[in-house]
Structure 1
């Protein structure tokens, strides 16, 4: 079992309820135990912080989301919805269970403000933000005087983590929706309709929060290191880099670019000797991936003993394995596969000929499968199955009974290889702080790991282009819920500059309306909060 003291500890029996049709997204969660009771003891603060982390991967207090925290349309945890929003419409994932999993519109890039996954993810994010705000509110100095100095110091450290998780949620609000209610720990808890953040205001708020959390020696900053699965300064620097790299998208101003700032943030991690690339790429995605703290900067932690989820690693591992192909589920530490999704031919083609490629990241099941589609996208015999994520330990043993308790594979959200590629891309986009030679070296470190140190993996200076970076990010980071963000930054998600099969709902692919670069605020919340608008929809 994973030794993570905080993440899935006793949660005080708090059964949080949250109504999606509310006129106030900053309501206090209704609990069987009141906030006054919960925050009466210093020891309880750690349990509430555990709830904040767990709420991104668990849908409720019971196994697989039983005794749910939030009433949603799909009844799934946030991580599963986030994966669908980031991957379903891209060149990576072809979904099988379209209508049964409410994925028709996402797959064909034709959604509306009533889309179930866009709605569920939106309310999960603000549920999580609400948890963070309530926690931070109870970390006020005036409320901590009843505790010892040592306890106060510990709670202040927890507060920094809650602030990071709030910034992390708001970054996803910015990335997915470009707007959202303006709520923090000072917002009235009831009887208040929040103003709306636009993209620039969200960017500025997230940047301010993260910069305060990485101040060296700052009283409110994150620790330099932390338990696996918890936030630290490197985690915040990595999120800052991601924010800066997408600045022109988020701020909507072509003259406001933060590429030098992105490189500065990346360098804070690259120069830290604690971090290095895991030599074996596959071990970043198995049931022992919690041991890869030298590369995985932040992950959503899954454990089939303490935190059974049908999202996170379970969704990735079980969903990638076919249930009507010749695959043997035991090869991946599974009892059975779900056959949820397959790879579109465009992403697998980026590895060249799969029968001869030396790239170890080309992890696809091809037996009996066609690479490209000749007909419907839900035909399980067309499109290769993914083999990237498994439920196997380093010793090759199944970590859990996946049919009963899900998988024990964590869901990496930010990795060192991503930081290397972000720094190189920021240099190519005009940023300063590293040389072109250094950028090439960073990319080739990623490539050499992929090619198991074979020199054939290296690229030359002339090959280091923005188009190459986008393809390399596809090869390195597929299934890691970043593809939509990348394609939008390169202006290829909705446009005709890059077409893949079934893009826009037709076999040969087509461009779609640019409004699909942004997901809509749920129709129910527009009614509740007139400060929010879906101008594109």
Structure 2
């Protein structure tokens, strides 16, 4: 594991002064640590600027100062308030890709059944965690301003390094606002110069957020490291390009304006930057995906480690959750058996995998024996098929460093998605080449040992929605994809337990956005509730 990732555990130090100076009322962040110290003391060591940046990254993985069970967001447990897990819950559980078995877990029944309200604790956790990312980034930017560096006598060589660090912090802030834009459609907009404490920030709506994120990314790209030249898990130019490409692919949803040509442009830049598909698809989801050949496909990960960067994040959830109650196959994935049967897939997901196009495809990891394809009762964990995509074993078969919290990093952005984004943006009128789009899709099928190749005449938007599911399931893309294809709300496409019925029913259009959590509305009177809630 590289040295920067080890520095992520410095959150146990860095977060103390950030939380004490942060917007504690608005973010509902609880300081509660007696070992406070001055920022100038911390930054007296030149290495601390790098450590401070690691603390900003840490909010994507860690939840507090005292291990995986600790949360620095008041009133929420570590699982509910973990960044990647919140994202995973909100992008996967309301869709056809995952069904959470234990519906007594706070907030998850409503996500399974598309019946959430503003009181949902998972929504509160994600809203709070993303805004904590904004607060952490702002504090780092305050502590690395020209005036702060002048007061500490920082030399020019270190200032050049800090310029890159600051660009990365700004990327992380933009990423947080991207997730707020996608999930909630609005956010309190807090800038570096705003006063800290109980500050009631103005609110940016979706178009304003889109414009801010776009301009911020375009401004910082020249200051970021070249693709594949930064330390693993730190943002480089390609991470910023990917975030722009994602925004442009979904721009019609966010702003009403098509930006598919821009999506194509940034996909092409990423593809030309030197990334390559992992030779074996499943190595992308194994415990050594940070050092194996899979690493060269991963553009930006969320890190997890059973010892150093412990968290109950999306990969810990996916690996443990896919262990079957019938199969008791925890050892196959390098974890303990305690989560048997937590997550299954819907009948519609299974039927897609079994429709004849993916019989020998390595992306089809369905386990079907001794199980029914449907889930008549969510509490019956022996019904519904399970999958075997994620693992806490390495690509050479060795176990991870712990048996519950996994070593597997979460590939938030990766090249396989870029290939499919290019193909979709082309079909939606963004330009590019049809032959190139077909080739990218077939490269993914070839990598998965699928003998079937798509032709130019077969490449369609419906085909790509299916192919995105097969390639990217359980990677926190599905809700966004279904919305973009107009299959999430309404009745154009129903899946098991959509709308809280076994066979699925139409749901209202307002559910394309989540409600603003009640606690956030109470903390900031500038926030207003989304329509329909």
**What band does the TM-score fall into relative to the shorter chain?**
over 0.9
Cα distance change, pair 11–513 in 1 and its aligned pair in 2 (3 A): closer
Q: 1:520 aligns to what SS in structure 2?
A: coil
Give the drift of 1:498.
Answer: 0.7
Is contact 1:342-1:386 (8 Å) kept? yes
Cα distance in structure 1, aligned partners of 2:429 and 2:54? 40
Cα distance change, pair 198–10 in 1 and its aligned pair in 2 (3 A): closer
Q: Name the residue aligned to 2:315.
A: 313
Cα distance change, pair 121–477 in 1 and its aligned pair in 2 (3 A): same
Kindly indicate whether residue 68 of structure 2 is the aligned counterpart of residue 69 of structure 1: no
Q: Name the residue aligned to 1:303.
A: 305
Cα distance in structure 1, aligned partners of 2:492 and 2:20? 42
Cα distance in structure 2, aligned partners of 1:349 and 1:177? 31
Is contact 1:18-1:69 (8 Å) kept? no
Please report the TM-score for the alignment, with normalisation by the length of structure 1. 0.92
Kindly indicate whether residue 203 of structure 2 is the aligned counterpart of residue 196 of structure 1: yes
Give the drift of 1:5.
Answer: 4.7
Cα distance in structure 2, aligned partners of 1:472 and 1:170? 28
Cα distance in structure 2, aligned partners of 1:229 and 1:44? 18
Q: Name the residue aligned to 1:346.
A: 348
Q: How does 1:11-30 map to 2 (within 5 A)?
A: 11=11, 13-16=13-16, 17=19, 24-25=26-27
Is contact 1:26-1:130 (8 Å) kept? no
Q: 1:412 aligns to what SS in structure 2?
A: strand
Kindly indicate whether residue 46 of structure 2 is the aligned counterpart of residue 42 of structure 1: yes
Kindly indicate whether residue 429 of structure 2 is the aligned counterpart of residue 430 of structure 1: yes
Is contact 1:241-1:265 (8 Å) kept? yes
Q: 2:337 aligns to what SS in structure 1?
A: coil
Give the drift of 1:2.
Answer: 5.6
Give the drift of 1:15.
Answer: 4.8
Count of residue pairs brought into register by the alignment: 520
Q: How does 1:455-494 map to 2 (within 5 A)?
A: 456-494=451-489
Kindly indicate whether residue 174 of structure 2 is the aligned counterpart of residue 159 of structure 1: no
Give the drift of 1:9.
Answer: 4.6
Give the drift of 1:221.
Answer: 3.6
Cα distance in structure 1, aligned partners of 2:5 and 2:402? 23
Larger deviation: 130-139 or 521-530?
521-530
Q: 2:99 aligns to what SS in structure 1?
A: strand
Question: Which deviations, in whole Å up to 9, do the C-alpha atoms of 1:338-386 show, x marking residues without a partner?
Answer: 122111121122222589801110012222221112x212311111112
Kindly indicate whether residue 404 of structure 2 is the aligned counterpart of residue 421 of structure 1: no
Q: 2:199 aligns to what SS in structure 1?
A: coil
Cα distance change, pair 356–9 in 1 and its aligned pair in 2 (3 A): closer
Q: 1:358 aligns to what SS in structure 2?
A: coil
Cα distance in structure 2, aligned partners of 1:22 and 1:140? 22
Q: How does 1:267-278 map to 2 (within 5 A)?
A: 267-272=268-273, 274-278=274-278
- Residue segments in structure 2 that go unaligned for 5+ positions in a row: none
Kindly indicate whether residue 253 of structure 2 is the aligned counterpart of residue 249 of structure 1: yes
Kindly indicate whether residue 387 of structure 2 is the aligned counterpart of residue 368 of structure 1: no
Q: 2:479 aligns to what SS in structure 1?
A: helix
Q: Name the residue aligned to 1:447.
A: 445
Question: Which deviations, in whole Å up to 9, do the C-alpha atoms of 1:109-146 show, x marking residues without a partner?
Answer: 01111111001110011011100011012221222131
Q: Name the residue aligned to 1:138.
A: 143
Q: 2:56 aligns to what SS in structure 1?
A: helix
Q: 1:519 aligns to what SS in structure 2?
A: coil
Kindly indicate whether residue 244 of structure 2 is the aligned counterpart of residue 232 of structure 1: no
Q: Name the residue aligned to 1:103.
A: 108
Cα distance change, pair 355–185 in 1 and its aligned pair in 2 (3 A): closer
Larger deviation: 34-43 or 390-399?
34-43
Is contact 2:23-2:199 (8 Å) kept? no
Q: 1:462 aligns to what SS in structure 2?
A: coil
Give the root-mean-square deviation of aligned CA atoms.
2.3
Is contact 1:20-1:71 (8 Å) kept? no
Question: Which deviations, in whole Å up to 9, do the C-alpha atoms of 1:369-406 show, x marking residues without a partner?
Answer: 21112x21231111111210000012112112314xx1
Cα distance in structure 2, aligned partners of 1:362 and 1:30? 47
Cα distance in structure 1, aligned partners of 2:491 and 2:316? 34
Cα distance change, pair 321–381 in 1 and its aligned pair in 2 (3 A): same
Is contact 2:171-2:235 (8 Å) kept? yes
Give the drift of 1:417.
Answer: 0.6
Cα distance in structure 1, aligned partners of 2:309 and 2:75? 20
Is contact 1:287-1:391 (8 Å) kept? yes
Please report the TM-score for the alignment, with normalisation by the length of structure 2. 0.93
Q: Identify which of 161, 182, 185 aligns with 2:189.
A: 182
Is contact 1:354-1:362 (8 Å) kept? no
- Residue segments in structure 1 that go unaligned for 5+ positions in a row: none
Q: 1:131 aligns to what SS in structure 2?
A: helix
Cα distance in structure 1, aligned partners of 2:321 and 2:298? 22
Is contact 2:23-2:135 (8 Å) kept? no
Cα distance in structure 2, aligned partners of 1:94 and 1:12? 34
Q: Name the residue aligned to 1:288.
A: 288
Give the drift of 1:461.
Answer: 1.1
Is contact 1:20-1:123 (8 Å) kept? no
Structure ranking higher in helix proportion: 2
Give the drift of 1:527.
Answer: 2.0
